[in-house]
Each structure stands twice: as structure tokens, then as C-alpha cells.
Structure 1
Amino acid sequence: MTDVTAAPARAEERAGAGGDRGAVAYRVWAPDGLPEVAAGDDLAALIALAVPDLADGDVLLVTSKIVSKAEGRVLAAADREDAIDAETVRVVARRGTLRIVENRQGLVMAAAGVDASNTPAGTVLLLPEDPDASARRIRAGLREALGVDVGVVVTDTSGRPWRSGLTDVAIGAAGVRVLDDLRGGTDAYGNPLSATVVATADELAAAGDLVKGKAAGRPVAVVRGLPHVVAGDGEPGARALVRGAADDMFRLGTSEAVREAVTLRRTVREFTDAPVDPGAVRRAVAAAVTAPAPHHTTPWRFVLLESAGARLRLLDAMREAWIADLRRDGKSEESVARRVRRGDVLRNAPYLAVPCLVMDGAHHYGDPRRDAAEREMFVVAAGAGVQNFLVALAGERLGSAWVSSTMFCRDVVREVLGLPGDWDPMGAVAIGHPASAPKERPARAAETFIAVR
């Protein structure tokens, strides 16, 4: 059993309100003796056997893993990512394979809370379907088994957006004041407290984590000495700790974040050998096709060259076509070789994409001026799609370089890749993990590019 005693400042302040300024302390310990939990187990009964001396006013901190096991939330899953997909409501942020998402319980956390640790190989643990309801059942069961009135907090490990490291937080609660609203009071200097709302349930969860540990086989902790945090059955659960969409300043990002995302796109010409995640490229395509287009058309097509053979066949054919053009221009063999080497950025990239323009839905006027303007509209839309694509790749931490070469040998590209005759290649995009950080680029003053009338 692991045991910690501490002196909480706010508890001392509460005691002081009654006139008693003596020392105030609480004790937190993690008992041994809880067996391996399986589906269908009566968790309250098991806890009552392990901690028979629970007393009124204690707070029980229960790791969500054993709640999930008791509730049968163990899922056979060959691929954890599929389980994460199923539990995800909204993707908040993505860095490579790491996903921060909002899950079905409304919690924002890594991997939707799907856990592959402390569970048999080939299975994953999902969070309890309703952690507050789970806490209420445990609280009621302990009242029936031991005749005690205790608070219950269901905990899970989570990161914090502005802090390094993990800590336990409350994802379910019953009979606990999960928030301590100090607004309207004053501090020790008489200054009004106008914004202080303390996440008491999270503090309790973190205290329990100090004694439970991550792999010590002690999934339950008890806090004694803080009876003021234990309340009746009418208290809101841990769901009250989840910030609502209206108050979440970072839910959709800010204009600064959007600008940062755009300026993050830089031309990268040297890549590592690390493979490119095809899913990341497909997500970038999904962003690309949100670009504006004329007449409600969809003029973009993206050919993804994911095999080394396809890339080599295309690049070899393009090189031959380019050499032929340069020789017709009368360039020397040295000049030809030097210019052709510029195409090495495509040859050295681990992944290529060829964006294409299709003119489906274009209007035909029979007037050269208007028909030329019509095509220009579609070309602008294609460019907008390519820019979206490059920015989205940068958001996936992938480097890219847009190279125009396929536009100069469209027939060759169509033949090698087996593309329809009305697909116009609009360059090629080299994609990969940057070999080094791009050099700093001086900011361009917007006024240089603006004319006001």
C-alpha cells in the first residue's frame, strides 16, 4: 500500500472561515488486494472487500481501466486505429499518427481514450460509455455494502495542451463537488476573485495517481480528510468539467492560426527516406477540393504515384521529352545535362502527386476571347486547389515542391499514366519528410502587392 499525507491550502482556508486556523491535512493511499477485474464483476463489492474501512466523507478514486473491464468495454481489435476511428466524434489536431480528438463521451484527448495497455494482446480498452453513471453505480454499491457516504471519481490519464507530461483527470464523478467556484470571494489581500473556478475533481484524480502508479497493480486510491468536497447525489458529474463549444477559444482555431498554417507551406527540395503516409496525402486532397471553382464544378483530379515503378516510368519518359525539347532549342549537351538535373527534386522524392485540370462543366461561347477567359477561370481554380493541397501537406508535417514540368509534356504524362484525354496535368508535387528545416523567409509587406482605388 502506498500512502501520502498533505496539507491542502484551500481546506485550511475553509477551516479558517469557521475560526479554526489549526493545521489541516488529508491522507491519500492506494490499497493492495484488488483482484484482476473481468466483465460482469461487481466493482463496488470488490472495492468494499479491498477497503472495508471506508468512512463517510472519503473520496474513492477509481482508474477507468477497471471500470471498462467490469462493464465489458474490452474490444478485440487487430488495429487500434480502427477503434479510435469508431470512438471519434471530431478530430481536433493531428501530428503524424497522433490524433487529439473529441470522443463519444465529449472528452478531448489523445486516441479517443482507446488504450492498448493493461489488456491482453489483440484487444483494446474503450472508456466507459457513461463515466458519470459508472461513478454513481459504484457510490450506490458502496453505500449498500458498507453503509458509507463517499464520493467517487473515475479517472483517466491525459495530456494538457499547454503543459508537458501526463496526469490523471476526472472523467466521471458522483457525490463530489467537481468544481470549486471561488468567484465573488476575496484573496488574502482583499482583492476580488472574479475568474477562479478550481477543478477539484481533477486535483483529486492527480493526487490519487501519485500513489496508484501506472503499472503497480493498484487501480484504486482513497482520499481522507477532505469531507467538504463530498456532496449529495444532486451534484453534477465530471461532464461539468468539459468546456463547452461556446467557451472553447481554440476549438476551430483563430485567424492567427490560419495565417500560420498558410505561411507554414514552404518549398522543400530535399527529403529523408522516411515513407509518406498515404492517408496524410488523401487528407490533403480532401482539403484541396474545397477550393472555389466556376459554375459549381469540380475541376480537380489528383493522380497519386505511390509505387516506385510508376514514378520511375513517368520521370524517365518526361526526361526524354525534356531532352528532346532542349536539343531542338539548340542547347549544348552540357546545358541540357545541367537543366535536366533540376528535375532531381521529383526523382529524389519518396512520393509524387500529379494534379490535373478537367474542364467538365465549362461553357463554350464560340468567341475566342470569352472561351479563353473561361479556361483561365478553370486554371485559377486548379491553382487554388494546388495551394490548398500544399498547405494541407504542410499541416501534416510533410514537405512539398510544386514543379511545373508535366505541363510541358502533357501527352507523355497522359500516355504513361493511362489518363483520360481531357485530364490536363498541372505540374507535379514532390512530397516527403523534409531533410532539414527550410531557411527563414523574410516577411513580405502586404502593401507592396496592394492597389487601393
Structure 2
Amino acid sequence: MTTRGGAGPSFRVWAVPGLPEVREGDDLAKLIAAAEPGLADGDVVLVTSKIVSKAEGRLVAADDREAAIDAETVRVVARRGTLRIVENRQGLVMAAAGVDASNTPAGTVLLLPVDPDASARAVRQGLREALGVDVGVLVTDTFGRPWRAGLTDVAIGASGVRVLDDLRGGVDAYGNPLSATVVATADELAAAGDLVKGKAAGLPVAVVRGLGHVVGGGLGADAGSGSGSGSGSGSGVDADGAGGDSGARALVRDSRDDMFRLGTSEAVREAVALRRTVREFTDEEVDPGAVRRAVAAAVTAPAPHHTTPWRFVLVESAAARLELLDAMRDAWIADLRRDGKSPEAIARRVRRGDVLRNAPYLVVPCLVMDGSHTYGDARRDTAEREMFVVAAGAGVQNFLVALAGERLGSAWVSSTMFCRGVVRDVLGLPGSWDPMGAVAVGHPAGAAPARGERDVGGFVVVR
């Protein structure tokens, strides 16, 4: 038993002895009630996910643990040797998708509960029926953490516990406003329980008493609020998370707000996958600093002869964008008329440039041939230019991927290549700069549609 406190607030935490080996179909609530009949309103019961999984029949045959990890993986975040950090089916980012091969019969692995929040609700309801008490329940599992050595328990399922304590809008002891403080209460409770459960002591359940203010709600209007133990949140976040019965799902950071969503080398593929052609943008302004950071990534691309063949013209002025796009439109129309296109065909083709006109920010990448070699031989001179063109394309690809990392959408349109002289004149560029299309940049107006899978074998020839 651990006691924390003294003159101020305090709590107790202890492991529950006497639980039998859990098997598929066992009623966890009844087992816990029998082992700890003295549970009281406002207690928090911490249940290791392993026994939840066993009771729910998540022990599966799997001679190959790696194949089981594959089956539970939604996204690979990072890999080092055989160790994989992945996002699993429950939306948790963790090692090996939570697939556990320890303390299981040979040829089997244990998967995480399908819905840990539902598991927590079932145990909580069962304890209420068995003992007539209103407790909070957390389903816990062991996680590593970015930037920190060692493991700790966190909550992956919750019922009747205020998983987040939102202190924003309050003040500290010196009267300073709290603008970013949201405490992961459920994870702190899980870690406290792990101190007494241990990793190898065979004690899968712990109880925290004395923190009844984090417990209550979530089982209906008749669930009550405890027996004077201070249940109720008082922070605008209800007992099951940030509004509604959200359970531990509220602890999983939304991908849009996750600054560390992309991992190590494998995440390069994820970054490339994030790069999608976006044709509709919101009116939100684009941060010029984000574009400059993307340019910094662009100019790391490989190039021939130690040259720097890229230049990026940032058309930040709305007036400059309008002047450029109007001049380009007039040049296209003149070309199409010379080609004998009908007015309808011309209008249809000109509309393809609307993505540039509707974007709040425009970038014109240019190719410069400074440092290129002249051979006086048409074949070799053509190959020399092609090397520089390839390098320019690599720079633009870096640029587009970096924009995606900044949560900006983009569309690379080849239009400026068909009226390079016009573009140079309007933007006042040197005659040696070749505009290589234009990139529309902005905040996407909606989610991109799912990308169709392509068979890599169709693009590979082996000799």
C-alpha cells in the first residue's frame, strides 16, 4: 500500500491480491468484487489490459508474432531492426501494436481488447451490480514514451473517470493565466497503480482511494455521485473525458494536432503519402514562415556538379498574383485561338487554372542552369540540361512534401512552362530563370479522397 500526502490532500493505492488466473469467459467484475469486497464509492479500479484480453477471448493462435503485429497495424510510425512503433486498430501508437507474447502458451499471442473503453464500462457496471458502489475503472497497458527512457502504465480504456483535467482559463498560485495546462489524470492514476502492481508480481488489479473528485458519471442519471467523497469534475470536463462518455479516447491526440505524428525513416513514406494535390482551399492565410521552411527542405535535393539549380518565387501579394494570372490567362487564350480551339473549348481549358486563382498563396519554382557544362555537342548538351531539370523536379517534390508536413495543401500546375516569357516579364525575373510551373498553396478545404493502391510490381523491371 502506498500513501501520498501529509497535511494536505492524500490518496492510497494498493494492489488487489487473491485473483485467480483469468480465462476466456470469466466475469472480471465478479472476480474483482470477490477479491476486494470493500470497494467504496469514489475508488478508482485499475485493471491491467492483459486480464481483460484473456477474459474477452483475445488469446489467438499465432506462430508468427510479426504476422500478428501486421494484422493489428494501421500505420507504421518507426522501425529499428525488428522493433516497430505503430498505430494499431484502437488508434494507439505503441510498440508492436500491443501484441503480447509473454506469459501465454507457445504458439499464441494476446491482443489488446477490441474496445478498451467498452471493457472499462462493463467492469464498472458489474462492480456496481455486485457491490452497489460507484467506482471509476481504468484499463491500463504499458507504454514507452518519446524522448523518455523507461516504461510506464497508461490508461487505454476508461469509464467513470475524468481522464483529462483541463485547467486552461484558470490561474496559478501567482495569478498567472493557465493557457495550455491539460493534465492527463487517467495516465497519472495508471502509473500510480503500476507502482504497486509491478510488472512481474502477478497482481493485475490495483485500487486508488481518496481521489473521488475524479470519479462519477457515465452510467446514467441514477449512477449517483459517490458518498460525499468529492466526485464531480468542477473543470468543465465531465467524468468520462472532454464532454460525453469519451473514455480514454480523449487521451489520444488528434493527428491534426500531433506535432510528432511522423516517426523516423519509415515515416518518410508517410510524409510522401500526405502530399496530395489539393484543388480547393479555405480563405485562411498562409504562414510565410511555413513556406520558407518548405523552401529550406527543397534546396536539400541532389543536383549536378554541386550546383544549386532552384529558385522559388514567392508571390505573396494578392495584386501580384492577380497580375500574373491575368497575363498567363491572356497568353493561354491567344495560344488556343492560334490552335483553332472553339470558345467553349478555350473556356473549359482556362478553367483548369482556377486552382491557382483560388489559392491564397502562389509559388513559382524556377530552374537556373548556373554551373552547367557546355560541350558543344547537341547530345551531351541535351543530357546536361535534363540533369538539371531532374534536379529541379526533386527540389519541387521536396517542397511539396515539406508543405504537407506544415499541414498545407498544394497543387503543382505546369501552366507557367507554356508562357515563360510572360511570367518573367510580370515578375521581373532574369532571362536565365525558367519557370517550372506554379504551386498553389493553402489550407485544404476538405479531406483528400482515399488514394488508390498501386501495384509496385507494375513499375519495376528487374534485370
TM-score, normalised by the number of residues in structure 2: 0.53
1:391-421: per-residue Cα shift (whole Å, max 9, x none)? xxxxxxxxxxxxxxxxxxxxxxxxxxxxxxx
- Give the letter aligned to residue 4 of structure 2: A
1:224-275: per-residue Cα shift (whole Å, max 9, x none)? 0000010200442001000001101122369xx97xx9xxxxxxxxxxxxxx
Root mean square deviation of aligned Cα: 3.2
- Alignment-derived partner of residue 79 in structure 1: 64
Contact 2:77-2:263 at 8 Å conserved across structures: no
CA–CA distance in structure 1, aligned partners of residues 216 and 386 of structure 2: 66
1:243 aligns with 2:248: no
CA–CA distance in structure 2, aligned partners of residues 376 and 68 of structure 1: 62
CA–CA distance in structure 1, aligned partners of residues 84 and 385 of structure 2: 39
Contact 1:116-1:124 at 8 Å conserved across structures: yes
- Give the letter aligned to residue 51 of structure 1: E
- Give the letter aligned to residue 144 of structure 2: G
CA–CA distance in structure 2, aligned partners of residues 210 and 424 of structure 1: 56
1:65-122: per-residue Cα shift (whole Å, max 9, x none)? 0000000001111111001000000011111111110000000001011111121122
Q: Within 5 Å, which residues of 2 pair with 1:54-453?
A: 54-233=39-218, 234-252=244-262, 369=378, 373=382
Contact 2:153-2:191 at 8 Å conserved across structures: yes
CA–CA distance in structure 2, aligned partners of residues 253 and 50 of structure 1: 43
- Alignment-derived partner of residue 315 in structure 2: none
How far 1:23 sits from its partner (Å)? 2.6
- Give the letter aligned to residue 255 of structure 2: A
Q: What is the aligned residue count?
A: 266
CA–CA distance in structure 1, aligned partners of residues 387 and 88 of structure 2: 40
Contact 1:154-1:173 at 8 Å conserved across structures: yes
CA–CA distance in structure 2, aligned partners of residues 47 and 219 of structure 1: 10
- Give the letter aligned to residue 99 of structure 1: R
CA–CA distance in structure 2, aligned partners of residues 187 and 41 of structure 1: 47
Q: Within 5 Å, which residues of 2 pair with 1:15-34?
A: 23-34=8-19
- Alignment-derived partner of residue 369 in structure 2: none
1:145-196: per-residue Cα shift (whole Å, max 9, x none)? 1100000000000000011000000000000000000111111111111100
SS in 1 for 2:20: coil
- Give the letter aligned to residue 200 of structure 2: A
Contact 1:68-1:74 at 8 Å conserved across structures: yes
- Give the letter aligned to residue 243 of structure 1: R
Contact 2:78-2:263 at 8 Å conserved across structures: no
How far 1:25 sits from its partner (Å)? 1.0
Query: Does the C-alpha gap of structure 1 residues 78 and 375 become closer, same or farther in structure 2, counting only changes over 3 Å?
Result: farther
SS in 1 for 2:12: strand
Contact 2:19-2:35 at 8 Å conserved across structures: yes
CA–CA distance in structure 2, aligned partners of residues 83 and 377 of structure 1: 47
- Alignment-derived partner of residue 4 in structure 2: 6
CA–CA distance in structure 2, aligned partners of residues 377 and 154 of structure 1: 59
CA–CA distance in structure 2, aligned partners of residues 5 and 108 of structure 1: 32
SS in 1 for 2:188: helix
Which 4+ stretches in 1 moved above 4 angstroms?
368-382
Contact 1:177-1:235 at 8 Å conserved across structures: no
Contact 2:3-2:11 at 8 Å conserved across structures: yes
Contact 2:140-2:157 at 8 Å conserved across structures: yes
SS in 2 for 1:5: strand
Identity score, percent = 78
Query: Does the C-alpha gap of structure 1 residues 239 and 424 become closer, same or farther in structure 2, counting only changes over 3 Å?
Result: closer
CA–CA distance in structure 2, aligned partners of residues 207 and 188 of structure 1: 25
- Alignment-derived partner of residue 11 in structure 1: none
CA–CA distance in structure 2, aligned partners of residues 136 and 47 of structure 1: 14
CA–CA distance in structure 2, aligned partners of residues 7 and 74 of structure 1: 40
- Alignment-derived partner of residue 27 in structure 2: 42
CA–CA distance in structure 2, aligned partners of residues 184 and 369 of structure 1: 70
How far 1:24 sits from its partner (Å)? 1.8
Query: Does the C-alpha gap of structure 1 residues 163 and 424 become closer, same or farther in structure 2, counting only changes over 3 Å?
Result: closer
CA–CA distance in structure 2, aligned partners of residues 214 and 253 of structure 1: 28
SS in 2 for 1:159: strand
Contact 2:11-2:210 at 8 Å conserved across structures: yes
CA–CA distance in structure 1, aligned partners of residues 173 and 13 of structure 2: 28
Contact 1:153-1:205 at 8 Å conserved across structures: yes
- Give the letter aligned to residue 127 of structure 2: L
TM-score, normalised by the number of residues in structure 1: 0.54
How far 1:7 sits from its partner (Å)? 2.2
- Give the letter aligned to residue 247 of structure 1: D
How far 1:219 sits from its partner (Å)? 0.1
Gaps in structure 2 of 5+ consecutive residues: 219-243, 272-300, 303-376, 398-460
